[in-house]
């Protein structure tokens, strides 16, 4: 192995950078805190999505006539198709949960503060790209729930003042949902978003390595911040064990409950109640409370306010204090959002 390594190193010069990457010193307070696994676990989840997604693409037929049957074939006839689709389906929900938990960890540890602003900003974009994966993937099986949820989702985009119509046309590829919509959603799902997420993850990880982990916040962890362990095998092993546990959970879910597939999309069935994937339910519920005239408030102002405050956060909260219990404003704001999102989701369920 070492001879092969030497041979490759002499020709590529990659040996040094790879050794540097693997030997990177990880502070003990990071290695010993399970909350720091969440970012790596999100990365593992993304890799699982990429692998299972490529496998699904070999059998998926991106046309309104063929999409449903191809997904039905994958789920019920293709050997182990149920497993691959199950991991991809449950994995999309797991990825949203992991991204959200990882974001909360970095938020409560004030890891967005100087000089890690770009780390946080790429993170915010990663959150939105993850949600966009969910939104575009939902339509692909071309079943009733995907079809009707996408109709409503694109209608919501259509209610944006001034540019709404153009936005809706752009998403649908015409006035109604059809082949053009499916092609656009598929291209976004398998080409545009993967390219964006790969680039964002690369910048995110590079930033992480450039600045190192944000400082310890408790006295106990501060005491451990002078001792280090190498990234490989210590942190890699932690993440690998957690990743195997996650995979086992996804296999279990896929085996006990097949990934859902409803009746084929029927544009004429007027009585189908549209409902989005569970992680968009809170928004769907919130829209119910908004009277028609105020729709732009819910579809434009509130999302813009949330996105804007996430982007501005590192430039507003610039103080030295990092302990959440000493920062009531940011802590209470986050708890408020968590309660609202969980509360609305439960109500919608």
Binding residues for ligand HEM (CB under 6 A): 36, 38-40, 42-43, 46, 99, 102-103, 106, 109, 111-112, 116, 119-120, 123-124, 126-127, 130, 201, 204, 208, 213-214
Residues 6+ apart with CB under 8 A from 50: 194
CB of residue 310 vs ligand HEM: minimum separation in angstroms? 7
Q: Are strands 25-27 and 228-230 parallel, antiparallel or unpaired?
A: antiparallel
Burial class from Cβ neighbours inside 10 Å (0-12, 13-18, 19+) for residue 312 reads: exposed
Q: Which is nearer to ligand HEM, 210 or 336 (CB)?
A: 210
d(CA 139, CA 148): 9
**DSSP labels for 271-310?**
T------GGGHHHHHHHHTS-GGGHHIIIIIHHHHHHHHH
Q: How far apart are CA 330 and CA 324, in angstroms?
A: 8
> Cα–Cα distance between 191 and 189 in angstroms, integer?
6
| Residue with smaller CB distance to ligand HEM, 26 or 78 | 26
Q: Which residue number is nearest to ligand HEM in terms of Cβ?
A: 123
Instruction: Tell the smallest beta-carbon distance from residue 266 to ligand HEM (Å).
Output: 35
Least distance in angstroms from the C-beta of 91 to ligand HEM = 12
Shortest distance in whole angstroms from residue 42 CB to ligand HEM: 4
Cα separation of 41 and 238, whole Å?
A: 10
Judged by beta carbon, residue 80 or residue 312, the one nearer ligand HEM is 312
Please choose, from the candidates 178, 132, 114, the residue with its C-alpha nearest in 3D space to the C-alpha of residue 151: 178
- Tokens found for residue 276: 């989005």
Distance of closest approach, residue 347 Cβ to ligand HEM, in angstroms: 25
Angle at 321 between CA 320 and CA 325, to 5 degrees: 175
Give whichever of 180 and 341 is closer to ligand HEM, judged by the CB atom.
Answer: 341
Q: Of the two residues 8 and 202, which places its CB atom closer to ligand HEM in the complex?
A: 202
Look-up of token digits 């962890």 = 221
| Closest distance of CB 240 from ligand HEM, Å | 13
**The pair of three-digit structure tokens given for residue 341, joined into one six-digit string:** 């999102």
Shortest reach from residue 95's CB to ligand HEM, in Å: 7
Residue 214 or 299: the one with the smaller Cβ distance to ligand HEM is 214
Q: Give the residue with the Cβ less far from ligand HEM, 43 or 302.
A: 43
């Amino acid at each position: 192995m070492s001879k092969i390594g030497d041979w490759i190193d002499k020709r590529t010069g990659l040996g040094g950078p790879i050794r540097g990457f693997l030997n990177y010193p990880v502070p003990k307070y990071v290695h010993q805190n399970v909350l720091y696994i969440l970012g790596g676990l999100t990365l593992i989840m993304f890799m699982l999505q990429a692998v299972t997604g490529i496998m699904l693409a070999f059998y998926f037929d991106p046309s309104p006539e063929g999409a449903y049957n191809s997904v039905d074939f994958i789920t019920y006839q293709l050997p182990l198709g149920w497993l691959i689709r199950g991991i991809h389906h449950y994995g999309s929900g797991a990825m949203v949960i992991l991204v959200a938990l990882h974001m909360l960890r970095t938020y409560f540890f004030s890891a967005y503060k100087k000089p890690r602003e770009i780390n946080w900003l790429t993170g915010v974009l990663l959150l939105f790209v993850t949600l966009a994966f969910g939104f575009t993937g939902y339509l692909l099986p071309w079943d009733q729930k995907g079809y009707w949820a996408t109709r409503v989702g694109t209608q919501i985009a259509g209610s944006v003042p001034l540019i709404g119509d153009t936005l809706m046309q752009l998403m649908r590829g015409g006035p109604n949902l059809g082949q053009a919509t499916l092609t656009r959603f598929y291209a976004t799902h398998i080409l545009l978003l993967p390219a964006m997420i790969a680039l964002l993850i690369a910048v995110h990880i590079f930033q992480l390595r450039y600045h190192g982990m944000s400082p310890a916040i408790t006295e106990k962890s501060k005491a451990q911040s002078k001792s280090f362990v190498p990234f490989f095998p210590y942190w890699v092993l932690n993440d690998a064990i957690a990743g195997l546990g996650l995979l086992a959970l996804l296999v279990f879910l896929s085996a006990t409950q097949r990934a859902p597939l409803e009746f084929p999309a029927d544009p004429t069935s007027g009585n189908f109640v549209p409902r989005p994937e569970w992680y968009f339910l809170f928004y769907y519920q919130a829209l119910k409370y908004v009277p028609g005239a105020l729709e732009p408030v819910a579809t434009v102002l509130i999302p813009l306010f949330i996105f804007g405050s996430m982007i501005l956060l590192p430039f507003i909260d610039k103080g030295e204090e990092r302990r959440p219990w000493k920062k009531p404003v940011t802590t209470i704001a986050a708890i408020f959002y968590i309660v609202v999102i969980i509360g609305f989701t439960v109500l919608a369920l």
